[in-house]
Amino acid sequence: MALRLLTGIGIGGFGIVTYVLASEVIGPSWQGMTGVGQAGIFSVGNVLLAPLAFMIPGWRAFSVATGLSPLLWLLLYRVIPESPRWLLANGNQQSATAIMEDIATANGSDPPAGQVLGTASQEDDSGAEKPGISALFKGVMLKRTLVMLFVWFANSFVYYGLSLNSGNMGGSLYFNFAVGSLTELPSLCVGAYLVDRLGRRWTLAGGMILSGLSCGACMFLPEGTPSIIAAQMGHFGITPSFAIIFVYAAELFPTVVRSVAMGLSSTAARVGGVAAPLVVMLSLVSDSLPLLVFAIVALAAGALILTLPETLNLPLPETLEDCENMGKDPASHTSLEETVELDTLVKE
């Protein structure tokens, strides 16, 4: 039990940091594509999980085989740099500048000679106390935080619920899970295309609404192929939604509390993951009852997303003030893009 607890802490807690670290060194024009791309790696892992589970039916041996694989990534610790945004937010301009120069050189771009990045957060210069988790429940951040907590819960709840419900759809559990995972890859391609065209908000809401409608349709379709197709369409919708929410959340929350906000959101997602198998057990009452619950939650989350602002083509906010001025006064934004245009450091 203790080892399973540590696994959950590693996956659910520290895992979110990898996304935050990756997103903070990427320019606005690449945020959507790279964010959804990271989810594609997750889907590939799911596809490989089905044959591995088939070959290793015992849960103990299966847990060991899957649990040891992340240890290989410890070899990369020494070569992965710190986030320059985080360094700037903490007043370490020299280190942030050195990292950005290394990134520019690796991408074949010429960094500005002799330029030192400015401080991204005015709180550091004034000596004021840095914002903590309480800042997420004040002012303009309160609505964003509450909505995002529910949407993260809903995404995880529906995503893992549909995956676990594969065994109730008839046929082979391994085959249904593998097919569901395979459908994620084309759906992520669609999401990656739309997220930079329709925007984060509409693409995210559209995916959740599609998933909700598909799950609801299962209640009226006969068992077998029709209901399986509808359930897979639900999976098709929720997958890009679960990927885009990482991109959207990172762009909604400022650097000074981004890791805290993403960690809190991830916690809400873990609650959804815990609740999902309990809802799947409602199939003992009615086979379509779990899908009805998933449909209601997905549709509610899709509607709530539309109450938040769009972040497409906007620079990542650095301070709480940036969030208050989002979309209003670009001149008031104190970001890394003011001193170094991240997109120019990427060789086209």
Burial of 110 from C-beta contacts in 10 A (0-12 / 13-18 / 19+): exposed
**Is this structure's pTM higher than 0.85?**
no
- Mean pLDDT, the chain, rounded, equals 80
Q: What percent of the chain has pLDDT over 90?
A: 22
Is residue 107 included in any domain, yes or no? no
- Is 242 in contact with 40 (CB distance < 8 Å)? no
Is residue 278 included in any domain, yes or no? yes
**Who has greater pLDDT, 329 or 107?**
107
Residue 170: per-residue pLDDT: 60
Is residue 255 included in any domain, yes or no? yes
Q: In degrees, to the nearest 5, what angle opens at C-alpha 321 toward C-alphas 335 and 200?
A: 70
Report the C-alpha gap between 276 and 159 in whole angstroms: 9
pLDDT band at 57 (very low <50, low <70, confident <90, very high): confident
Report the C-alpha gap between 138 and 135 in whole angstroms: 5
Most confident stretch, 252-261, 271-280, 299-308: 299-308
Interval 79-92 mean pLDDT: 82
Residue 156: per-residue pLDDT: 93
pLDDT digits (tens, 9 = 90+) for 200-223: 999 999 999 999 999 999 888 887
Report the C-alpha gap between 26 and 343 in whole angstroms: 8
pLDDT digits (tens, 9 = 90+) for 109-151: 776 665 666 554 444 444 556 778 889 999 889 999 999 999 9
Please state the three-class secondary structure of the chain as a single string. CHHHHHHHHHHHHHHHHHHHHHHCCCCHHHHHHHHHHHHHHHHHHHHHHHHHHHHCCCHHHHHHHHHHHHHHHHHHHHHCCCCHHHHHHCCCHHHHHHHHHHHHHHCCCCCCCCCCCCCCCHHHHHCCCCCCHHHHHCCHHHHHHHHHHHHHHHHHHHHHHHHHHHHHCCCCHHHHHHHHHHHHHHHHHHHHHHHCCCCHHHHHHHHHHHHHHHHHHCCCCCCCHHHHHHHHHHHHHHHHHHHHHHHHHHHHCCHHHHHHHHHHHHHHHHHHHHHHHHHHHHHHCCCCHHHHHHHHHHHHHHHHHCCCCCCCCCCCCCCHHHHHCCCCCHHHCCCHHHCCCHHHHCCC
Interval 252-262 mean pLDDT: 88
Each residue of 332-345: b (16+ CB within 10 Å) or e?
Answer: ebbbbbebbebebb
Is residue 344 included in any domain, yes or no? no
Residue 346: per-residue pLDDT: 47
Residue 120: per-residue pLDDT: 45
Residue 301: per-residue pLDDT: 97
pLDDT digits (tens, 9 = 90+) for 6-22: 766 666 666 677 777 77
Burial of 140 from C-beta contacts in 10 A (0-12 / 13-18 / 19+): middle
Asked if pLDDT for residue 348 goes beyond 80, the answer is no
HSE-CB for 205 with a 13 A CA cutoff: 16
Is residue 257 included in any domain, yes or no? yes
Q: Which amino acid is at 34?
A: T
CATH code: domain of residue 41: 1.20.1250.20
* Token output for 243: 């990927």
Residue 18: per-residue pLDDT: 74
The domain of 68 spans 2-80+131-305
Is residue 318 included in any domain, yes or no? no
Report the C-alpha gap between 17 and 14 in whole angstroms: 5
Q: Which residue has the tokens 């964003």?
A: 144
Is residue 275 included in any domain, yes or no? yes
Total structural domains in the chain? 1
**Who has greater pLDDT, 280 or 127?**
280
- Is 36 in contact with 195 (CB distance < 8 Å)? yes
Is residue 330 included in any domain, yes or no? no
pLDDT digits (tens, 9 = 90+) for 290-313: 889 999 999 999 999 999 999 988
pLDDT digits (tens, 9 = 90+) for 158-187: 988 887 776 666 667 777 777 777 878 888
